[in-house]
Structure 1
Amino acid sequence: MIRLLIVDDHPVVREGLRGMLEADPGITVVGEAASGGEAVVRARDLRPDVVLMDLRMPGGDGVSATGRILADRPQTRVIVLTTYETDQDIVRAVEAGAAGYLLKDTSTADLLAAVSAAVRGETVLSPSVATRLVSRMRAPAAESLTPRETQVLALVAKGMSNGEIGRALFISETTVKTHLLRIFGKLGVSDRTAAVTTAMDRGLL
């Protein structure tokens, strides 16, 4: 019997997942948690085989909770179940030790199969997540931004104009433009909005 803990800040989602999972005679839901902090406590008390972990919750995010749960009980398998699939979220979850990363549109059959696979020690990924990871690994290593370029882009993300950025950093507007051109080249983009979005996806901001 697979002992499972459901972690999600939405009661309706937890109730739906419980109904789906307990339809399988090989799974028993031993508990629920509504935050990352609560998940750590519940996992310590209930000692589940698998934790279905939401990613973004108040009271401690899913990535931090995953790391803490696995530090306390390495044999537990944590599967992230979320609506988010940015490169940064995926990589952070995998680095924290998650055994899988599934999206909430995953079918019941695929979710049940993923739980069983995780218990067997396999890694489980939604197809779109697997594609993103493979693409990320195949892509040539992007040049890193310099500290000054990161400062400039962070101010761009706040909606500041080139002139405002120059005054904030005590550099000329021409120098700001030069930094932006270099940033665009490193990130492979052609405008400010794309630069901010790409940098956030890559965890640079």
Structure 2
Amino acid sequence: MIKVLLADDHPLFREGLKYRLSLEPDIEVAQEAENGKQALELLQQQCFDLVLMDINMPEMDGMYVLELIREQELDCKVLMLSMHDNKEYILAAMRHGANGYILKDVPGNELIAAIKKVASGKSYFSSEVTEILSKELAGEQRGVVTRREQLVLRLISHGLNDKRIAQELNVSVRTVETHKRNIKQKLGIDSTAGLVRYAIDYGLDK
């Protein structure tokens, strides 16, 4: 059973979403939150497999809640559900550690598929979001990260530590550490796990 925390400030939308999820035998809306602060408090008090969370909420927005979830190392997958399809929101969600991002106008069956995929430990981005990310990757992000840095990212995603990467590239460990530091600064990512997720999401692990 996938235990879900549903966080959205619109009661009618929450009610409709809860009803749709109740039709699935392996999904349970265990708790609801009407603002970001309440969502964070619930996450601190009990365990959920996944939080389905809006971005624009009163008291504390969903993006900040996401950031705090990762900072406090709360064990929960996060699927952002938003009306915003611009790249700033999407990239910010990724950088803060979202496991997925879908738009509020997706069909119900796609929402269910997204919840199940994210709960299983994979990422999920709706087709519109994927298209936006692909354009971003083809443009400024690939321009920012050099070919050498992309190679370092690929090796990181394969599970190699700094010493092994240095051996593969025939450089010093210090050089690898410098590459990693530069990549993190450019992408706004502060952890190795975040780099791995970025490499996988953008196809740089192949």
* TM over 0.5, shorter chain: yes
SS at match of 1:13: helix
Partners of 2:44 and 2:74 within 8 A in 1? no
Write the mapping of 1:1-205 to structure 2, written as runs, cut at 5 A.
1-140=1-140
Structure 1 residue 108, shift from structure 2 partner: 1.1
SS at match of 2:112: helix
Q: Residues 141 and 82 of structure 1: is their aligned pair in 2 closer, same or farther, counting only changes over 3 Å?
A: closer
Q: Which AA in structure 2 matches 1:129?
A: V
Partners of 1:51 and 1:79 within 8 A in 2? yes
Structure 1 residue 37, shift from structure 2 partner: 1.0
TM-score (norm 1): 0.66
Q: Residues 47 and 73 of structure 1: is their aligned pair in 2 closer, same or farther, counting only changes over 3 Å?
A: farther
Over residues 51-84 of structure 1, what are the superposed CA-to-partner deviations in whole Å (9 max), with x where a residue is unaligned? 0010111111111101212333443110000101
Structure 1 residue 46, shift from structure 2 partner: 2.8
Partners of 2:47 and 2:75 within 8 A in 1? no
Rounded to whole Å, the distance in 1 between the matches of 2:35 and 2:108 is 23
Partners of 1:44 and 1:72 within 8 A in 2? no
Q: Which AA in structure 2 matches 1:45?
A: Q
Q: Which AA in structure 2 matches 1:114?
A: A
Q: Which AA in structure 2 matches 1:126?
A: S
Aligned Cα RMSD in Å?
Answer: 1.9
* Structure 2 equivalent of residue 174 of structure 1: none
Over residues 28-63 of structure 1, what are the superposed CA-to-partner deviations in whole Å (9 max), with x where a residue is unaligned? 111011111111001122311010010111111111
Partners of 2:4 and 2:31 within 8 A in 1? yes
Q: Residues 73 and 27 of structure 1: is their aligned pair in 2 closer, same or farther, counting only changes over 3 Å?
A: farther
Partners of 2:3 and 2:48 within 8 A in 1? yes
Percent identical among aligned pairs is 33
Rounded to whole Å, the distance in 2 between the matches of 1:76 and 1:56 is 20
Rounded to whole Å, the distance in 1 between the matches of 2:9 and 2:37 is 11
Structure 2: give runs of 5+ residues left out of the alignment: 145-206
SS at match of 1:92: helix
TM-score (norm 2): 0.66
